[in-house]
Structure 1
């Protein structure tokens, strides 16, 4: 268990930031949230890009001098450093299954439910019909998977579930209804029932994150 406080540079309404905030809380790790004002472009400042993330995105963590960016990469780091083997399988097949869903989180999830939410809540210029259609295509796959296994990568909770939780929980903010996906809704409820769960606010004002 970490005896120091891990600094999390993020934005409260960023789903990518929330992934890390949720993981830190579920692991019971002391942390300090440092606001990066995305509305003012703080993530694109020379200091931020030179010292924290050269891509100019949140979240970033500083774990006692270890600075890491990218939400999924941070999840891997936290799981392997502090997770006691509970969040990331060590066997090749289990590890590959988690990696598959992390790739989907960076692809179809980012280009579907996350983009739909950006369009409606933050006014981002995207093809809303296309991203909503992509969202439902993804949700149908997730629904099928969760009808076969308790969690995304199998019967054990993993960082794959944490990577997916926020943008699926907030999909309705992007006019992506979850009404037809009973397995997804049950899975969301299971994560929300975990000790240490923290939610993300349901109003927002603009962000760029990865």
Structure 2
């Protein structure tokens, strides 16, 4: 199934939340237009953008007469409308397995790998020690879970993998070494080998572990 017109994606290049949507759009071969929002300049808090998302956050998509925000909600929408069973299983257990990792992406990955990166790259005033503790915890969890598994929620890639990928793969930009996590690194490599994978921009100011 294809769209009648290009989906508009409101973006910021360094956002892992945006990148997970870019990945699915690319992997589904959906025509789309990327519109970068000047986050440092506060464009996301201006009235025109607030009309798209009253929370003043990216990403946002506009698909015909549908306007949708929140990266997880967008992944579910795109998978259900255009992606089929591969990306979001409809059976109860398969859907629940995916949801476990969507929750992880919104919880521990947001509070850990995302925040250590925000501190190092964007100099956000956040508790780095707490974010680092949560990062090491979630990396340990993923390392154990991925023992003997290729992907997070099924025997193939789902939106669970896309939701979790960016902040984990780019956690060295937050000063965390992935060398102790071979299963995680193997999973990252498998995601990056998926057809039509598109990389997230690495910050030129990244601080590698």
Interval of TM-score (by shorter of Structure 1 and Structure 2)? over 0.9
Deviations 1:57-98 (A, max 9, x none): 000000012000000110001111110221001110110111
- Give TM-score, length-normalised by structure 1: 0.94
Residue 139 of structure 1 corresponds to 139
- Cα distance in structure 1, aligned partners of 2:198 and 2:89: 24
Kindly report the root-mean-square deviation, in angstroms, between the aligned alpha carbons of the 2 structures: 1.2
Structure 2 distance, partners of 1:100, 1:112, is: 17
Gaps of 5+ in 2: none
What is the alpha-carbon distance in structure 2 between the residues aligned to residue 53 and residue 44 of structure 1?
9
In structure 2, C-alpha distance between the alignment counterparts of 1:172 and 1:26, rounded to whole Å: 25
Q: Hey, what's the Cα distance between the residues in 2 that align with 1:37 and 1:119?
A: 19
**Counterpart mapping for 1:67-146 below 5 A:** 67-146=67-146
Aligned to 1:189: 189
Runs of 4+ in 1 over 3 A off after TM superposition: none
Q: Which structure ranks higher in relative contact order (CA pairs < 8 Å, sequence separation ≥ 6)?
A: 1
Aligned mates of 1:127, 1:35 — CA distance in 2? 28
Q: TM-score, normalised by structure 2?
A: 0.94
More moved, 19-28 vs 145-154: 145-154
Whole-angstrom CA distance in 1 between matches of 2:73 and 2:172: 26
Gaps of 5+ in 1: 206-210
Q: Could you tell me which residue of structure 2 aligns to residue 43 of structure 1?
A: 44
* Offset at residue 48 of structure 1 (A): 1.0
